[in-house]
Amino acid sequence: MTTPILEVDHVFAAYGRGAARIEALKDVSLSVERGEIFGLLGPNGAGKTTLLSCLEGLHQPESGSLRIAGLAPRQGKAKLGVQLQKTALLDDLTVVELIELYTALYAVFPTRAQIDALLTRFDLAEKRTKFIRHLSGGQQQRVALAIAIANNPEIVVLDEPTSALDPHARRAVWDLIRSLHDEGRTVILTTHAMEEAEALCGRVAIIDRGQIIATGTPASIVAGLNINPVLKAAAELPLEQVRALPGAQAARYSGQYLEVETTHPQTTMPALHALAAQLGRNLSEVALRQPNLEDAFLKLTGRALSA
Amino acid sequence: MQRFLTLTKAMFLVYLRERSTLFWNFAFPVFLLVIYAAVFGGDDLPGFMGWMVPGVLAVNILAFGLISSATMMTEFRQKGVLRRLQASPVPTLTLVGAYIVVNVAVAVLQAALVVAVAMTFYGLQLPAVNLLLALPMVLLSVLMSVALGQVVSGVAPGSGGAVAIGQILYFGQMFIADLIMPIEQMPGWIQSVGPWLPGYAIAQLVRPPLQTGALSPEFGANLLLTLVYGAAAALLAAWLFKWEARS
């Protein structure tokens, strides 16, 4: 068995003291294998960024240990490529100047051709002499990602790499993250978007209120919880009566959609149609949805992930 | 070394490209000089300039540290740049060194610009020996002023706050520290308080060398005052320093 490239062992971390003390991480342990795309999934304030800060050597945990390829975070900084939640780009520098600055910090000095190759890969070749402040949000995010791998790191640490992006830019970033994985780099990223974790990550840890409440592949986490499939429909029906339908385990509204957890979709679906007909209500867009990480989070915490 | 140079170059470019710094560091000092010359110059313009130019230099050094340098650091902190630097393996000492070198370079450029304008347009004659003797005084003063600015940055809640605090400290000293108004013309209490201010120490370090090519009789006392202020500010700034903005 190989040694994990990232090891987090019983980490406790807090901010502030006295009455203002916030316990951000409470006994967090996890390990990431070389070459994985590992996701930290959880709502805002769950402790995702704090955990990354501990890995990046930016926050000193109160107890527990972290290892980056066997090194303590402060010694392991050179092995990481980092993209912080705040993009931290200097507005008055050009794209090339910024890349040169951030590689120099790692004592890496790329040639012109290497910088050009990097910019081409991140679709920034035409922007090389543009000032950062003249770039769009998606372009700035790609610059931040380019910086994160410009020092040729073994491990890339991305804090909410797509949170402020439109769907198109988001998919472009997903492709780039996958390409990092294809090169054999290890990627650890945070997200509060379930579909991002499912689309990108080989394994995820679900983190809530400073604790890891599940770890595994997205499919294994969902399967392990024995969550029922969900019937989804655009309808306005009394939840009481829906819950009483054969096979129905639970019912709720998610947005304007009715969601019914069921053990027997084949029986519940016709019964739902019958109920709507009996009450003279509309029922449309009926679909059966397999459970996902969002449902897993709900089952584990009793709360919705995207509140 | 290459790492240090790249970092220095980047910070230098940020200083030169930021429009408000550009104005305050290069346009405003010249503007100040032109206004003073027009208002107070009188018949003996070169003679007046001999006294006033060192004062304007000292004012600018003070403003540079307390406002420009303080604001720059505060903005680096607010934008998350400091955090990103902290996440890289670059030693803190390299960062501090680069920041000091860039600050000193910009302040010296600014002083050179004022001197050049005074010599070219106002007939100020400054022998090389005067300039050579004044240079180390300017460097020392800049270091002290930048240290004071880092204290401002350490206590200011944001870059707006840093500007406000810096300006209060700077304007407060402008008129009572023998910078652009002779302290002999001031009320008694100012004459007893003024000489204890950092601005006064800067004025007394810079003016005699430029004006007469010699050190002032109180050189030792003012050097000591500068060193004490500088060292105390540097220690306090280091203690107050935060990588991350309070959220």
Contact A88 B83 (CB under 8 A): yes
The reply to whether A105 touches chain B by the CB within 8 Å rule is: yes
End-to-end CA distance of chain A: 40
Residues 6+ apart with CB under 8 A from B3: A104, A105, A107, B90, B94
Of residues A195 and A32, the one with the higher pLDDT is A32
Q: Which amino acid is at A94?
A: T
Q: Residue A107: closest CA among chain B residues belongs to which residue?
A: B3
Q: Residues B160-180: what's their mean pLDDT?
A: 83
What was the pLDDT predicted at A65? 94
Residues A134-176 pLDDT 10s:
998 888 989 999 999 999 999 999 999 988 788 888 898 899 9
Residues A253-285 pLDDT 10s:
888 889 998 888 889 989 988 998 998 888 888
Give the Cα separation of A258 and A248 in Å (integer).
12
Q: Residues B39-54: what's their mean pLDDT?
A: 84
The DSSP H or E segment spanning B86 is helix B81-87
The reply to whether A152 touches chain B by the CB within 8 Å rule is: no
Q: How many helices (H) and strands (E) does chain B have?
A: 12, 0
Residues of B in contact with A109 (CB under 8 A): 2, 6
Residues of A in contact with B81 (CB under 8 A): 88, 90
Q: Are A22 and A47 a contacting pair, CB within 8 Å?
A: no
- The dihedrals phi and psi of B69, each to the nearest 5 degrees, come to -65, -40
What was the pLDDT predicted at B182? 84
Question: What is the arrangement of strands in the sheet containing A22-32, beginning at the earlier edge strand?
Answer: A22-32, A6-15, A63-68
pLDDT reading at A12 higher than 70: yes
Give the Cα separation of B222 and B140 in Å (integer).
11
pLDDT reading at A204 higher than 60: yes
Q: Which amino acid is at A132?
A: I
The reply to whether B242 touches chain A by the CB within 8 Å rule is: no
pLDDT band at A37 (very low <50, low <70, confident <90, very high): very high
The reply to whether B83 touches chain A by the CB within 8 Å rule is: yes
Contact B10 A78 (CB under 8 A): no
- Closest-CA distance, B8 to chain A, in angstroms, reads 9
Best residue of A101, A134, A145 to probe chain B, by most B CBs closer than 10 Å: A101
- The pTM of the full predicted model, rounded to 2 decimals, is 0.85
Q: Are A27 and A55 a contacting pair, CB within 8 Å?
A: no
Q: Are A230 and A259 a contacting pair, CB within 8 Å?
A: yes
The reply to whether A49 touches chain B by the CB within 8 Å rule is: no
Q: Residues B70-80: what's their mean pLDDT?
A: 90
pLDDT reading at A1 higher than 60: no
Q: Residues B161-166: what's their mean pLDDT?
A: 84
Q: Residue A144: closest CA among chain B residues belongs to which residue?
A: B84
Give the Cα separation of B37 and B50 in Å (integer).
11
The reply to whether A154 touches chain B by the CB within 8 Å rule is: no
Q: Residue B16: closest CA among chain A residues belongs to which residue?
A: A92
The reply to whether B247 touches chain A by the CB within 8 Å rule is: no
Q: Residues A27-35: what's their mean pLDDT?
A: 94
pLDDT band at A8 (very low <50, low <70, confident <90, very high): very high
Contact A57 B86 (CB under 8 A): yes
Q: How many angstroms separate the Cα of B171 from the Cα of each of B60, B63, B147, B180, B222? A: 11, 9, 18, 11, 21
pLDDT reading at B247 higher than 70: no
Contact A90 B14 (CB under 8 A): yes
Best residue of B6, B9, B76 to probe chain A, by most A CBs closer than 10 Å: B6
Give the Cα separation of A203 and A222 in Å (integer).
12
Residues of A in contact with B6 (CB under 8 A): 100-101, 104, 109
Q: Is B21 left (phi over 0), alpha (psi -120 to 50) or beta?
A: alpha
Residues A218-247 pLDDT 10s:
889 888 888 888 888 888 888 898 888 898
What was the pLDDT predicted at A207? 93
Residues of B in contact with A107 (CB under 8 A): 3, 89
Q: Residue B244: closest CA among chain A residues belongs to which residue?
A: A58
- Closest-CA distance, B90 to chain A, in angstroms, reads 5
Q: Residue B2: closest CA among chain A residues belongs to which residue?
A: A104
pLDDT band at B42 (very low <50, low <70, confident <90, very high): confident
User: For the purposes of burial, counting CB atoms within 10 Å of the CB of A126, is it exposed (0-12), middle (13-18) or buried (19 or more)?
Assistant: exposed
Q: Which of residues 7-26 of B touch A (CB under 8 A)?
A: 7, 10, 13-14, 17-18
Chain position carrying tokens 């346009």: B27
- The ipTM estimated for the assembled molecules is 0.84
What was the pLDDT predicted at A235? 87
What was the pLDDT predicted at A192? 87
Residues of B in contact with A93 (CB under 8 A): 10, 13-14, 17
Residues A72-119 pLDDT 10s:
999 999 999 999 887 678 889 999 999 999 999 999 999 999 999 999
Q: Are B49 and B122 a contacting pair, CB within 8 Å?
A: yes
Residues of B in contact with A57 (CB under 8 A): 86-87
Residues B184-221 pLDDT 10s:
888 888 888 888 999 999 999 999 999 888 888 889 99
The DSSP H or E segment spanning B72 is helix B70-78
Mean pLDDT is highest, among A41-45, A237-241, B233-237, for: B233-237
What was the pLDDT predicted at B8? 95
pLDDT reading at B156 higher than 70: yes
